[in-house]
Amino acid sequence: MDEVQLLHRFLLVGALLFAIGLVGFLSRRNMIVMFLAAEMMLQGVSVSLVGWGRFHNDWGGQILVIFILAVAACEAGIALALVLMLFHRSGRLDVAVWQSIRESNQPKFVDQQLPEEPLTIEHWPVLPHAGVQPELPAEEMIHRSHV
């Protein structure tokens, strides 16, 4: 395989990881999922750095990835401690609920509530046993008797 094609594949995988992590970070409000998405973005950058390092025959990309992994491990430990402490305080992992950690001069975050959906119970059809004629509604019985 050509080195340029290999670099393109490294960069494609890195860009996909980064894009998936960015979408996950922007679309979720759960702190754990947000931290996992940020880690995925870091891994996308790491794959790209390894690809560039291999392309240029330089160990700088791989060494930088080792530092990124060390920082990510420290970040994960601090994030876990923060999430556990905030969950212990509020009982929820929703970011909007944690108003107590904002600065005193900042207004409260107001999120629009979704409208309540009525609780509907679905009635699934029940099949009769094999060889048993199903019961028909009264109007169908009258229609069949006249035909």
Tell me the pLDDT tens digit for each residue of 97-119.
666 667 778 777 666 776 777 77
Helix (H) or strand (E) holding 105: none
Q: Which candidate, 103, 87, 105, places its Cα nearest to that of 95?
A: 87
44-74 CB burial, b ≥16 within 10 A, e <16: bbbbbbbbbbbbeeeeebeebbeeeeeebee
Q: Tens digit of pLDDT for each residue in 131-142?
A: 777 677 666 656
Q: Tens digit of pLDDT for each residue in 17-76?
A: 999 999 999 998 777 788 889 889 999 999 999 999 999 988 888 898 899 889 888 888
pLDDT at residue 18, as a whole number: 96
Domain extents in the chain: 3-98
pLDDT at residue 23, as a whole number: 95
CATH 1.10.287.3510 fits 3-98, yes or no: yes
- The pTM assigned to this predicted structure is 0.58
In this structure, what DSSP letter does residue 29 have?
Answer: -
